[in-house]
Chains A and B, each alone.
Chain A
C-alpha cells in the first residue's frame, strides 16, 4: 500500500531508511535538473544533488511541515546551487541588468520562431545558444526563470522558496523573459 506523504515523512524522521530512500528517489530528478539548469554543468549538478540530499537527511528531524516536502527540498537545493553560483568568478559580461521592451522590430524573429519545430530545439547549435543565453542571465532572473518557465513551479511556491514577495518574483520573471528574448534574437542570425 502507498504511504501518504505525511506518513512517509513521519517514518523518515524516525530514521526509517526505506522511507528516507523513497523521499530521495521521488525528488532526485527534480533536484538534478534544477542544478543542471542553474549551473549549466553536469559535474556541478551532481554536487548539488549530493549536497542537497545529505542536508535533507540531516535536517529531516527538524522539518516542521509548514510547507510541502517538495518545496522544502527545493529550497535546500536552490540554496546549494546558488552558493556554487556565487562562488564562481564572473566569467562573462551579463545581459543588461534591467531589460525592458525596446524599440527594435521583432516581427521577423517572432515569425522565425513559429517556423522552429520541436526537432530544432534538440538541435545542438540552437540548444547551445539557449543555454548560453540563460547562463548570462543575472542570478535573480535566472533562478526565477528556471523555476517557473522550465521546471513549472507556481509563482507562490517560488516566492516561498526564494523568500521574495510575489511582485518581486513576477518582476524578475518578466525581466528574465525579455532579457532572454533580446539575447536569443541577437544570436539568431
Chain B
C-alpha cells in the first residue's frame, strides 16, 4: 500500500528512527487500517499536487525593470 512508503518520512518528521518501537507500532497499525492509510496517503498526494505547480517565468516587464534598477546589462543567453 502506498502509504507505507510515507512511513519512513513520517517517523523522520516525528524525530523517530524507522526501527523504533513507535514506528513499528505505526506500521503494524497501518497494515490493518485503511482509514489511517488514507490519512497518510492524502497528505502525500497533496504534496505531490503542489509539486506539480512548477516555477513561473519572470515576466519580461519585471525582468526589464530589474536590470534597470540594478544598472546592469543582462547577459546574453
Complex CA gap A3/B59 in Å reads: 27
Residues of B within 8 A of A33 (CB): 55-56
The answer to the question of B24 belonging to the interface, with a C-beta cut-off of 8 Å to chain A, is no
Give the interface residue-count category, chain A: 35 or more
In the complex, the chain A residue whose C-beta lies closest to that of B15 is A167
The listed residue (B10, B45, B56, B69) touching A32 by CB distance below 8 A is B56
Closest Cβ–Cβ distance, residue A34 to chain B (whole Å): 10
Complex CA gap A5/B41 in Å reads: 41
The answer to the question of B46 belonging to the interface, with a C-beta cut-off of 8 Å to chain A, is yes
The answer to the question of B13 belonging to the interface, with a C-beta cut-off of 8 Å to chain A, is yes
The answer to the question of B22 belonging to the interface, with a C-beta cut-off of 8 Å to chain A, is no
| Chain B interface, >50% SS class | helix
Q: Which of B50-65 contact A (CB under 8 A)?
A: 50-53, 55-59, 62-63, 65
Contact B42 A109 (CB under 8 A): yes
The listed residue (B10, B14, B47, B57) touching A149 by CB distance below 8 A is B47
The answer to the question of A49 belonging to the interface, with a C-beta cut-off of 8 Å to chain B, is yes
Closest Cβ–Cβ distance, residue B49 to chain A (whole Å): 6
In the complex, the chain B residue whose C-beta lies closest to that of A43 is B62
Contact A28 B10 (CB under 8 A): no
- Mask, A63-94, CB within 8 Å of B = 1, is 00000000000000000000000000000000
Closest Cβ–Cβ distance, residue A84 to chain B (whole Å): 16
The answer to the question of B75 belonging to the interface, with a C-beta cut-off of 8 Å to chain A, is yes
Contact A174 B52 (CB under 8 A): no
| Most chain B Cβ neighbours within 10 Å, of A17, A110, A114, A185 | A110
Contact B72 A46 (CB under 8 A): no
Contact B74 A25 (CB under 8 A): yes
Contact A185 B42 (CB under 8 A): yes
Contact A53 B41 (CB under 8 A): no
**21 CB-based A-B contacts, threshold 8 Å:** A18-B73, A24-B70, A25-B75, A28-B63, A32-B56, A46-B65, A101-B39, A106-B35, A106-B42, A109-B42, A110-B41, A110-B45, A113-B42, A113-B45, A113-B46, A116-B49, A150-B53, A170-B12, A173-B13, A174-B10, A174-B13
Using a CB–CB cutoff of 8 Å, the interface residues on chain B facing chain A are 10, 12-15, 34-35, 38-39, 41-43, 45-53, 55-59, 62-63, 65-67, 69-70, 72-75
12 more A-B contacts (CB under 8 A) besides A130-B53, A178-B43?
A: A24-B67, A24-B70, A29-B57, A50-B69, A107-B38, A110-B41, A113-B48, A145-B50, A151-B55, A177-B47, A180-B46, A184-B49
